[in-house]
């Protein structure tokens, strides 16, 4: 017993050194591991979002897969994004009527109604996975009634992406942008976005310099936005005067910056570290949301707060919602699902909707709008630190 106790101080370090599992071992190799490289297993065999990456890695060429997969430097932030959710344990409640949980999934994002509290995050180069590229995201988001935010550096132009929407103008899209100090170009872009019917502009602010992406450098697939960029709060105020659309700030990573966003009239912010692709050592969105909950919980009432990064399960979504996040973004899972085209993206959306509902039911949440921080033990267990 005494020898075992002596080992306890070294346990966290030993666990931190464990091999990293990009996807969990849920029997996929035994079930469909014989799928030939360069082909996709039948979509019915994809039972969770991580399965899409397993399939895509075997299907895509190595440089295209790397473009989607890469993270900054040693990829510790990429890894932390995935692992942060498992540091905190649920506190399930029993004997609760959860039979109507599915009817409580719909939410609003900047006043627009959607069927679930998650959206397709902006990711570049959809054409690396499928010939129809971003059109598949538009169509799947429409059919499943969720938000899609196209990336500025998409494979298709903003006009081509907008052309995939139904002609009746019913679908809501936001548009992600990177900006430089050329105000004339910025005004032209904003005018184009407005004309195409986008309902908000999502300004990515966590890419002021090139990403330090070692994995990407090996294959020549580095950052699409590689210059030093002038991004300040004064510049943001100028942008707000260039458009009638709400300008959402994407990439905030501290409670201080969310407070400043409120002070500067931002309608919403997205907690994000760019998928762990820009600066290694940055916090996950869950850690930032927890910081806000602990230090300034009133911010969740003062501004709409969304979050993305490392979400792979319905349980991950629930932990963010429990802290006060309104909607959760996913990027890579949908990019990998796009190898199957529209049906793959729709399948991913359906899987996540189902997981959110059944995980909420098992958590004892009868109404998703009533989930709060009491459903999670927010003490770090250190099992995955």
Residue 319: CB atoms within 10 Å:
28
Q: How many helices (H) and strands (E) does the chain have?
A: 17, 12
Q: Which of 130, 274, 293, 347 is catalytic?
A: 274
d(CA 366, CA 331): 28
- Confirm whether residue 311 is marked as ligand binding: yes
Does residue 176 have a known ligand-binding role? Answer: yes
Q: How many CA atoms lie within 13 A of 360 on its CB side?
A: 30
67 appears as a binding residue in the annotation: yes
68 annotated among ligand-binding-site residues: no
Question: Is 213 annotated as contributing to ligand binding?
Answer: yes
Rounded Cα–Cα distance for residues 316 and 328 (Å): 9
State yes or no: 274 annotated in a binding site: yes
- Name the burial class of residue 28, with classes exposed (0-12), middle (13-18) and buried (19+) by CB atoms within 10 angstroms of its CB: buried
275 is in an annotated binding site: no
Report d(CA 358, CA 44) in Å as an integer.
19
Taking each helix axis from N to C end, the angle separating 62-69 and 49-59, rounded to the nearest 10 degrees, works out to 150
Q: Is 331 marked as a binding-site residue?
A: yes
Catalytic residue at 112?
Answer: no
Strands (E), the chain: 89-90, 107-109, 112-114, 118-120, 147-148, 175-177, 201-204, 247-252, 268-271, 304-308, 327-330, 376-377
Instruction: Please indicate if the annotation marks 312 as binding a ligand.
Output: yes
Q: Is 215 annotated as a binding residue?
A: no
Distance CA 187, CA 180 (A): 11
- The span from the CA of 318 to the CA of 356, in Å, is 7
The answer to whether 204 is a known ligand-binding residue is yes
Residues involved in catalysis: 274
List, as residue ranges, the binding site for glyoxylate.
67, 178, 213, 274, 277
Annotated binding site for FMN: 122-124, 176, 204, 250, 272, 308-312, 331-332
Instruction: Summarize the annotated binding site as residue ranges.
Output: 67, 122-124, 176, 178, 204, 213, 250, 272, 274, 277, 308-312, 331-332
């Amino acid at each position: 017993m005494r020898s075992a106790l002596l080992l306890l101080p070294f346990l966290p370090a030993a666990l931190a050194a464990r091999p990293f599992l990009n996807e969990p071992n849920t029997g996929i190799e035994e079930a469909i591991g014989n799928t030939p490289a360069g082909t996709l297993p039948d979509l019915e065999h994809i039972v969770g979002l991580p399965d899409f990456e397993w399939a895509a890695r075997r299907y895509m060429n190595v440089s295209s897969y790397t473009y989607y997969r890469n993270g900054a430097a040693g990829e510790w932030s990429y890894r932390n994004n995935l692992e942060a959710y498992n540091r905190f344990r649920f506190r399930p409640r029993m004997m609760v009527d959860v039979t109507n949980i599915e009817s409580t999934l719909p939410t609003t994002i900047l006043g627009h109604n959607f069927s679930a509290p998650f959206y397709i995050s902006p990711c570049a180069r959809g054409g690396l996975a499928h010939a129809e590229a971003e059109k598949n995201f538009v169509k799947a988001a429409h059919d499943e009634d969720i938000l899609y935010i196209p990336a500025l550096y998409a494979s298709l132009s903003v006009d081509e992406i907008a052309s995939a929407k139904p002609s009746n103008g019913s679908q809501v899209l936001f548009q992600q942008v990177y900006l430089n100090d050329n105000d004339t170009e910025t005004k032209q872009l904003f005018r184009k976005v407005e004309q195409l019917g986008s309902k908000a502009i999502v300004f990515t602010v966590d890419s002021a310099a090139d990403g330090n992406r070692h994995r990407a450098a090996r294959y020549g697939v580095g950052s699409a936005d590689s210059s030093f960029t002038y991004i300040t709060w004064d510049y943001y105020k100028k942008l707000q005067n260039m458009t009638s659309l709400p300008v959402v700030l994407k990439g905030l990573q501290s409670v201080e910056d969310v407070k400043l966003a409120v002070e500067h009239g931002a309608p919403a912010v997205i907690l994000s570290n760019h998928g762990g692709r820009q600066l290694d050592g940055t916090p996950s969105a869950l850690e930032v949301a927890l910081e806000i909950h602990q230090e300034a919980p009133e911010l969740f009432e003062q501004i709409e707060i969304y979050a993305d990064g490392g979400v792979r399960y319905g349980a991950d979504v629930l932990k963010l919602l429990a802290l006060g996040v309104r909607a959760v973004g996913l990027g890579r899972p949908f990019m990998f699902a796009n190898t199957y085209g529209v049906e793959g993206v729709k399948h991913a959306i359906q899987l996540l909707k189902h997981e959110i509902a059944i995980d909420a039911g098992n958590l004892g949440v009868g109404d998703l709008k009533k989930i709060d921080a009491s459903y999670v033990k927010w003490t770090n267990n250190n099992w995955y630190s």
